[in-house]
Structure 1
Amino acid sequence: MSVSVRIPTILRSYTDDTSQVSAEGATLTEVLDSLESNHPGIKARIVDDNGALRRFVNVYVAEEDVRFAQGLDTPTPDQTQISIIPAVAGG
């Protein structure tokens, strides 16, 4: 299934400065694997060494935070918009 992934500015160096890319996969894990195969190095910025979503990265599938859905097993229906959003901290 083909999905559209919005890439934040901080990760665009992996996508040749492109703000939106296509990826394939029925789940978020498969989409991230597809992203990695087309844009090497990007997955390590989204998931940690244990394969869990990094705590400072928020991922939304069709406007739903995957942390409150099925995490990396969240289904990604065809033509779904996925957004990767780095957490912002301040003081």
Structure 2
Amino acid sequence: MSVSVRVPTILRTYTGGESEVTASGATLADVLDDLETQYAGIRARVLDDNGKLRRFVNVYVGSEDVRFLDDLATPTPDGTQVSVIPAVAGG
């Protein structure tokens, strides 16, 4: 299954400057594995050392935050858009 992945500016160094790339996988975990195969190092910026989504990274499948779905087991149907969005903090 092929999905479109929107890449935030901070991670575009891994994708050669591309703001949107294509990856495949039946779940978000599979998509992240495919991204790592294509763009080495990108998964470590999204997942922590325990293999969980980093606290300050939000990931959406379609318009839904995966933390409110099945997290890394969230299905990624063909044609879905996955968005990786770093949290913004300020003060």
Q: TM-score range by the shorter chain?
A: over 0.9
| Number of the residue aligned with 1:19 | 19
Pairwise CA RMSD of aligned residues?
Answer: 0.3
CA distance in 2, matches of 1:14, 1:84: 13
Please give the residue correspondences for 1:28-43 in structure 2 after superposition, counting only pairs within 5 Å.
28-43=28-43
Q: Report whether the alignment pairs 1:71 with 2:68.
A: no
Deviations 1:20-76 (A, max 9, x none): 000000000000000000000000000011000000000000010000000000000
- Cα deviation for residue 86 of structure 1 reads 0.1
Consecutive unaligned residues of structure 1, counting only runs of 5 or more, are: none
Q: Which runs of 4+ in 1 moved over 6 A?
A: none
- How many percent of aligned residue pairs carry the same amino acid? 69
AA partner of residue 6 (structure 1): R
Any idea what SS the aligned residue of 1:83 has? Answer: strand
Aligned length in residues:
91
TM-score, length-normalised on structure 2? 0.99
